[in-house]
Chains A and B, each alone.
Chain A
Amino acid sequence: MNKTLPPMSDLAEPYFAGARDGQLRLQQCRSCQQYQFYPRTICAHCSGGELDWTTASGDGVIASFTVVRRAVSEAYDAPYVVALIDLAEGPRMMSALVDVDPESVAIGQPVTVAFTEWSETISMPVFNVV
C-alpha cells in the first residue's frame, strides 16, 4: 500500500519539482513581496497576480504537532508526528517531523527541512528538529 500521493497540477509543478531537487519553494508576490503557502494563482495578501517561485531557507519553528498513534492507513507507520511549521519566510505549512523521538517534540522548537521520497517521482518536504 502506498502513502497518499499529492495529485499534480500545473500551478504546483515548480513546488514538487523543487522537492525532488531538495529545495523548498514558495511563491513570493512581486508587488507586496509577501511569501505564501500553499501556491495560488493570486497573492493571498494583496490579490496581486504576479508571483515568483523562490527557494525558501528551509528553516522554521513548530507551531503545533501531534503524535498520530492510530495510522490513517497501513502505508503509515504509527506512531508518527504531524506538525504545523511556521516557516522563517512567514507562511505556515503542514508537514511531518522525521527521525525524532515523538516524546521529545515541543511547540516552538526550531526545525529545518529535509525531503523524503513518497514514490519514484514524488518527494515531500519533511522536517528535522534542529
Chain B
Amino acid sequence: MTDTGLKGKVAIVGAADTEVGILPGITPMELCVEAALAALADAGINKGSIDGLVTCNAMAQPLMYHAEAFAEYLQIFPRYCINVGAGGGTTFSILHHAASAIATGMADTILIVMADSLRSGLSREQAMLIQSSTGHPQFEQPYGPTVPAYYALIAQAHMAQFGTTAEQFAEIAVAARAHAALNPAAQKRDPITVADVVNSRLIADPLHLLDCSLVSDGGSAIIMTSAERAADFPHQPVYLLGVGEGHSHEHISQAHDLTTSAAREAGERAYKMAGLGANDMDFAQLYDCFTPTVLVELEDLGFCAKGEGGEFAASGALRPGGALPVNTHGGLLSHCHPGNPGSMFALTESVWQLRHTAGERQVADAQHALVHAQGGIMSSHTTLILGREVH
C-alpha cells in the first residue's frame, strides 16, 4: 500500500458507551454486550450484519479466547475475529487493524468492543499485583517502581531538560476537569484548580494524586464499515483519514529518548496519509494516563515545539473554547479509565463531536480530529485522524 492507502476507505457508523465509573455487580463481558447492543442500535443494524469482531481482554475477567467468548455470548458468527492487547494503545491499534481488514476484504462491517472493571472487579491485592508486574521482571521490577513512577521518570527528565514545572503539568488535569464538567457521563465533574493539583499528595515525584488518571469500570463499542457502505447508515459517517503507528521500546529503561516518544513517528505517518497537519485539527484527544503523557504528545504530534509543551498547556489552549481543546469528554483524568479500553471513550467522543451531536461541550463546526493513544510506558503509539468528509 502507498502512504495514503487507507485514507477515506473506512468510516465509523456506530458508537456507544456504557455508564462509566463505579459499577459493581456487572462483569466486563456483560458491559461489552451492553456497549455492543447500544452501538448496533446507534448504527441502525442488527447483530447479523457484523462479520468482523475485534476485542481486548479484561484484567478483571481474563479469558483465553476473549473475542470468541464474546461472539459466543452474543451469538454472532464473524469471519474475522481477533483479540488484541497493546495496553493503552490497544483501541487505536485495533482500529488500524480493523480498517486494514475492511480494505482488504477480510470483513465488511466490524464491531470493536471492549470493557473492564478495574474499580469493582479487582481486589486491592489483585490490583497491586498487576501494578507490580509492570516492568522488566529481572531488571526493573525488583526496585519497586509503580506505574506512576515510570511516568514520573519521563516528567522529571522533561523538567530538567526544558524547565517544565509541576504547575504546567497540573494545568493539563485542570483542563480535563473543565471538559468533564460539561459531560454528564464523566466520573469526576467538580472543577479543580492548579493549586488543587499541586497541593494533592505526591505519589511519585513530580506526580501528585490529581496528575494521575482515574480507576474505573466501563465499556464502549464502535462499528466500522467501508466508506461506500457508510452512506447507507443513519448518522453522519466519521471517516478515517489517516492512521500511523510508532513503536520504540517496551521498558522505559530501554527508551532511546525519555522526552521524545514514538508519537512523533505515529503522528507523521498519520498526517502524511491524511494530507493534513496539526493546524488542521479542531480538537485532539490525547492519551492522558498521567499529565506528562499529554505534554509530551502535544510536542511530538506537532501542536507545539519540543520543550514548549508546558507553556502551551499553561496558556489555557487545552480548555473548552481554547485554541486546541484536548480530551473534550474529560479524558482518563476525569471521564473514566477502565484500563486497556480507556481510549475507546476518546474515540466515541470524537465520533459525537464530528457528528456535531456533543451537546453543551460541542466544539464549534468541528471538521477534523486527531486522537492518539499509547501503551506501555510511552512504548506503543497509534495516531488516528478523523473527519466528516474525504478530501
Q: Do A and B come from one complex?
A: yes
A residues whose Cβ falls under 8 Å from a Cβ of B: 3-7, 9, 12, 37-38, 63-73, 75-76, 80, 82, 84, 92-96, 102, 106-108, 118, 124
In the complex, 24 of the A-B residue pairs with CB atoms within 8 angstroms, ordered by the A residue number, are A5-B142, A7-B137, A38-B136, A38-B139, A66-B156, A66-B206, A68-B145, A69-B202, A71-B146, A72-B128, A72-B146, A73-B128, A75-B144, A80-B144, A84-B253, A92-B253, A93-B139, A94-B135, A94-B136, A94-B143, A96-B143, A107-B156, A118-B142, A124-B142
Query: A64-B157, A72-B132 are known contacts. Are A84 and B142 too (CB-CB below 8 A)?
Result: no
Partner of A72, one of B131, B138, B160, B201: B131
A107 with B253: CB separation less than 8 A: no
Interface-side segment among B147-155, B270-278, B337-345? B147-155
Residue of chain B at shortest CB distance from A38: B139
Residue of chain B at shortest CB distance from A78: B144
B152 with A12: CB separation less than 8 A: no
B156 with A4: CB separation less than 8 A: no
B138 with A38: CB separation less than 8 A: yes
Chain B residues, Cβ within 8 Å of A93: 139, 253
Q: What is the CB-to-nearest-CB distance from B229 to chain A, in angstroms, rounded to a whole number?
A: 46
Q: What is the CB-to-nearest-CB distance from A110 to chain B, in angstroms, rounded to a whole number?
A: 15
Query: A12-B138, A73-B128, A73-B144 are known contacts. Are A63 and B149 too (CB-CB below 8 A)?
Result: no
Check: B203 CB closer than 8 A to any chain A CB: yes
User: Interface readout for B188-231 with A: 1 if CB under 8 Å, 0 if not?
Assistant: 00000000000001111111000000000000000000000000
A66 with B253: CB separation less than 8 A: no
> Dominant SS at the A interface?
loop
B residues whose Cβ falls under 8 Å from a Cβ of A: 128, 131-132, 135-146, 148-149, 152-154, 156-157, 160, 201-207, 251-254, 258
Chain A residues, Cβ within 8 Å of B251: 94
A107 with B132: CB separation less than 8 A: no
A76 with B144: CB separation less than 8 A: yes
Chain B residues, Cβ within 8 Å of A73: 128, 132, 144
B141 with A4: CB separation less than 8 A: yes
Bound together, the chains give a CA A82 to CA B150 distance in angstroms of 9
Bound together, the chains give a CA A72 to CA B147 distance in angstroms of 9
Residue of chain A at shortest CB distance from B147: A72
Among B137, B140, B143, max chain A CB count under 10 A is at B143
Bound together, the chains give a CA A4 to CA B204 distance in angstroms of 19
Residue of chain B at shortest CB distance from A70: B203
Query: A6-B137, A107-B160 are known contacts. Are A66 and B153 too (CB-CB below 8 A)?
Result: yes
Q: What is the CB-to-nearest-CB distance from B146 to chain A, in angstroms, rounded to a whole number?
A: 5
B202 with A67: CB separation less than 8 A: yes
A84 with B153: CB separation less than 8 A: yes
Bound together, the chains give a CA A96 to CA B149 distance in angstroms of 12
**Contacts A6-B142, A64-B160, A69-B205 known; 15 new A-B pairs at CB < 8 A:** A6-B141, A66-B152, A66-B204, A67-B205, A69-B203, A70-B148, A72-B131, A72-B145, A82-B153, A84-B253, A94-B135, A94-B143, A94-B252, A106-B160, A118-B142
Chain B residues, Cβ within 8 Å of A92: 253-254
Q: What is the CB-to-nearest-CB distance from B33 to chain A, in angstroms, rounded to a whole number?
A: 35
Bound together, the chains give a CA A118 to CA B146 distance in angstroms of 18
B146 with A68: CB separation less than 8 A: yes
Q: What is the CB-to-nearest-CB distance from A100 to chain B, in angstroms, rounded to a whole number?
A: 13
